[in-house]
Chain A
């Protein structure tokens, strides 16, 4: 059984031992300075171990994780591309890691220059006129974007209460719009997996503030009617919001600006090779067109020809969405990546990502159901519905893939495809890896017929077997308590 760090027998109950200690003056008595009733009486239960014991514990934990370096990670919508190690090196340079955010502009010219130049690159890739790097993640970027929408209509004195999202959208889109006080109108997708333009027209009432879209959308399909939709939105006085989760498909091919978008958020931890960290930190820069520039959060980073500086003087700004500049450490990683790739390399990355996805789609569509058989972009969605008679679900296939050393695709998303398996190979993977994946997927389809129990019982060789998630929610145990 996996032992918690609190359960290690070597823990010193008297708490006299700890791996890291300091030259503290033992005679110093806090109660001489502070009221006694402000002081802690009962110690918290924290480990009391040697450094080696701590290292062994976390090394043991790390061995129970899958990661990009271990194998293929085709997790749709998440862009699990390789995270170059030079990025880590750069972010840990003393001159970056040790800056205090309250230092003067003069003392952090390198950091400001990096942020400014990163903004400039992102402006090229999105076609936007201004950027902020403050949001800490994609969903946080969405929040920033929708705050801008709200403030914009307040400023021009229009009361608009609704936001349109497609039924294929990420869950964060409606969740964000709701956080910003908007009512959600969901529109349908058509038989080509794209936003139904007629449904947009029907719902585009004068009180619609914005339409939120992802392009390519979450089915991995490019919205062919995007210009028409943007024209409709703008004629209605609404803004068009670009969820940049899928930018990895179109860098250097098209920009959100050329598609007619007004606001864009990006994910530096997806498209620009910063690692996901097991759930974070991320970074979700937001770009806007000229007329929305004044609404960006403060400070904005500017350059006067000789000096980089923070500008707080934005009267229409939405304020702040995060303390300080945002996740600077993540920005360093993205900047390093962009520097090494160049715009040429980024375009090629998008081409390869799209090539890899189409290659897999074509090689798998005979065995798995392909709900929308049109050219895909950087990802595509299969359905396990064709195995329904054998009682095999998308989750069974996902878990069986683990046995073959592959991270499962995203399952059950987007919600409009039953038994969805969303596959995003990224540009990092070679033909040999893709061919191997095709073989595995074919083998699994064969197993459905001859040995379905292999799928029902999968995974077989993992640190724990199939996990009881129902019990986790019903008998809530979210912390250790010493008995």
Chain B
């Protein structure tokens, strides 16, 4: 089975002969016997067999649920047109656009992505994307530490726990100290002067789905930068981070047309005030001209990056999740502002409908107000029982936070009948 290889044995011999060698082994003359390995050479299989095998594996996953799972990854509607574009190999198999003359497609797309992220967040500049929301938070913290030359940061305790763990790893290695800000009634407390911190990192809406007290953020005291990890879908209806004094806005854009795919690949965005453009990590695309003055796009500010600056670079990151950014750009182009608002309002309305109906059940409560499409259901010690009971009816009822609480997310994918089923099934337990 010689899948995907170009040569026959005859051709190999011809080529070896032409360069004065007689065997393949001679090509590896610099690798001494002591270093040679002897692995078991199993054979490959045909595509026919591979497809059967992969299909079998994929069917060992249970996906036929009505899902209320969220917590950073959401089951959103993905328009058919997105896959048709991202499967085009002109986008899919190209490398990072180092040669602008033959990469204008990718480069212009990223410029458009950056523009849309700036438009949604209200920020001045955006990079070309990073791995995901969690690493975007970690990179933003590193950026703030460098800007402020302070090695302490304040992180909201209501930040997504996975994001916290990633930020902790990055901070540990960089020698940055993290303090957590208390959460009261679902909202983060920011008291007093924050000048001792390089930055404050908040999530809006936070892990519990709650919109923080954004009206108080602009008037916060002290010099700490404000980093907000925001949900791009929510920005079709919520105020922009820029309008309440955010310095660096980051987030995950899985919801903009990307498959859940068991947690990745997704994408993270980073946008900032223009004063910090040169401290942004990652790729950035700029508009310029070609030698005849025609509009052109190219990677820019590369002097920040590892391949030039080595250990003095703003980050080690090379990736921008281009293909994911492409999905998001096509998504936002297809839906436009109105379409995004429609999706969000549909989800919010259904989430509030569900919350209202659940709250009517004696013994259940909705823990915090000020939420959009994700909320905490207080179950009085019944989390486990509720979730397993719902699962028997084909419903994944949410993420179990603890024995008392479940995090419930509602998107446009959940039909009103499923909301009714959710409520009626829960009622059976009370």
Is A86 an interface residue when CB atoms closer than 8 A count as contact? yes
Cβ contact within 8 Å between A277 and B322: yes
Q: How far is the CB of A313 from chain B (nearest CB, A)?
A: 15
Judge whether A206 is part of the interface by a CB distance below 8 angstroms: no
CB of A344 within 8 A of chain B?
A: yes
- In the complex, whether B183 has a CB less than 8 A from a CB of chain A is no
Cβ–Cβ < 8 Å partners of A170 in chain B: 307
Binary contact track A25-42/B, C-beta < 8 Å → 1, others 0: 100101001110111110
Asked if A281 and B319 make an inter-chain contact with CB atoms under 8 angstroms apart, the answer reads yes
Residue of A nearest to B116 (CB): A46
In the bound complex, do residue B94 and residue A276 qualify as a contact, i.e. CB atoms below 8 Å apart? Answer: yes
B93 contacts A276, CB within 8 Å? yes
When distances are taken between beta carbons in the complex, the residues of chain A under 8 Å from B96 are 276, 278-279
A61: nearest chain-B partner, CB-CB: B105
Verify if A138 is at the interface (C-beta below 8 Å from B): yes
Instruction: Give the residues in chain A near B43, CB-CB below 8 Å.
Output: 342, 344-345
Q: How far is the CB of A74 from the nearest CB of chain B, in Å?
A: 11
Residues of chain A with a CB closer than 8 A to B115's CB? 4, 6, 45, 479-480
Q: Are B307 and A2 in contact (CB under 8 A)?
A: no
- Centre residue among A75, A139, A281, A362 by max chain B CB count within 10 A: A281
Given A402-B99, A467-B100, A279 contacting B106 (CB threshold 8 A) = yes
The answer to the question of B239 belonging to the interface, with a C-beta cut-off of 8 Å to chain A, is yes
* Proximity bits, B1-42, A CB within 8 Å = 1, else 0: 111111100011011101111001011111110111101111
- Distance between Cα atoms of A254 and B28 in the complex (Å): 10
- Find B18's partner among A124, A179, A340, A359 (CB 8 Å cutoff): A359
**CB neighbours of A159 from chain B (8 A):** none
Which segment, of A196-204, A329-337, A442-450, faces chain B? A329-337
Roughly how many angstroms separate A449 CA and B129 CA in the complex, as a whole number? 44
Could you write out 5 A-B pairs with CB less than 8 Å apart? A20-B79, A138-B318, A140-B317, A282-B319, A478-B285
Contacts of B175 in A (CB 8 A): 181
**What residues on B are CB-neighbors of A111 within 8 Å?**
57, 61, 262
Q: Is the CB of A99 within 8 A of B261?
A: yes
Contact B336 A55 (CB under 8 A): no
* Chain B residue contacts of A57, Cβ below 8 A: 333
Q: Do B71 and A102 touch (CB < 8 A)?
A: yes
Report, as a range, how many residues of chain A touch the other chain.
35 or more
**Measured CA separation A127–B36 after assembly (Å):** 12
Q: Is the CB of A61 within 8 A of B262?
A: no
Q: How far is the CB of B123 from chain A (nearest CB, A)?
A: 9
Q: Are A65 and B94 in contact (CB under 8 A)?
A: yes
Residues of chain B within 8 A (CB-CB) of A160 are none
Q: Is the CB of B102 within 8 A of A402?
A: yes
Report B331 CB to chain A, min CB distance, Å: 8
CA distance A320 to B298 in the complex (A): 34
- Given contacts A24-B343, A136-B265, A322-B132, 11 further A-B pairs with CB under 8 A are A49-B333, A63-B105, A88-B92, A95-B59, A97-B259, A100-B69, A111-B61, A278-B103, A318-B169, A339-B53, A402-B99
A46→B94 contact, CB < 8 A: no
Name the B residues within 8 Å of A9 (CB-CB): none
Cβ of B42 and Cβ of A18 under 8 Å apart? Answer: no
Q: How far is the CB of B133 from chain A (nearest CB, A)?
A: 7
Please report the C-alpha to C-alpha distance between residue A330 and residue B75 in the assembled complex, in whole angstroms. 19
From known contacts A323-B163, A359-B19, infer whether A44 and B235 are also in contact, taking CB-CB under 8 Å.
yes
Interface size on B, residues (CB 8 A): 195
Q: Which residue on chain B has the smallest CB distance to residue A121?
A: B42
Determine which of A16, A175, A224 lies in contact with B309 in the assembled complex, contact meaning CB atoms within 8 Å.
Answer: A175
A446-B301 Cα distance, complex, nearest whole Å: 35
Those of B236-261 within 8 Å (CB) of chain A: 236-240, 252, 259-261
B15–A431 touching, CB < 8 Å: yes
A462 to B167 Cα, complex, angstroms = 43
Contact residues in B for A366 (Cβ distance below 8 Å): none
Which 3 residue pairs of A and B lie closest in terms of their CB atoms, listed nearest first? A324-B263, A95-B58, A110-B60
Q: How far is the CB of B356 from chain A (nearest CB, A)?
A: 10
In contact, A476 and B277 (Cβ under 8 angstroms)? yes
> Which of A18, A100, A114, A283 has most B Cβ within 10 Å?
A100
Q: Are B60 and A30 in contact (CB-based, < 8 A)?
A: no
State whether B342 touches A96 (Cβ < 8 A): no
Q: Which of B204-227 contact A (CB under 8 A)?
A: 211, 214-215
Contact A278 B73 (CB under 8 A): no
Chain B residue at minimal CB-CB distance from A22: B342
A375 touching B27 by the CB < 8 A rule? yes
Do residues A124 and B39 form an inter-chain contact, with CB atoms below 8 A?
yes
The reply to whether A180 and B174 form a contact with Cβ atoms under 8 Å apart is: yes
Which residue of chain B has its CB nearest to the CB of A82? B4
Residue A21, interface by CB 8 Å: yes
**Which residues of chain A have C-beta atoms less than 8 A from B277's C-beta?**
476, 478
Most chain-A CB neighbours within 10 Å: which of B55, B105, B307? B105
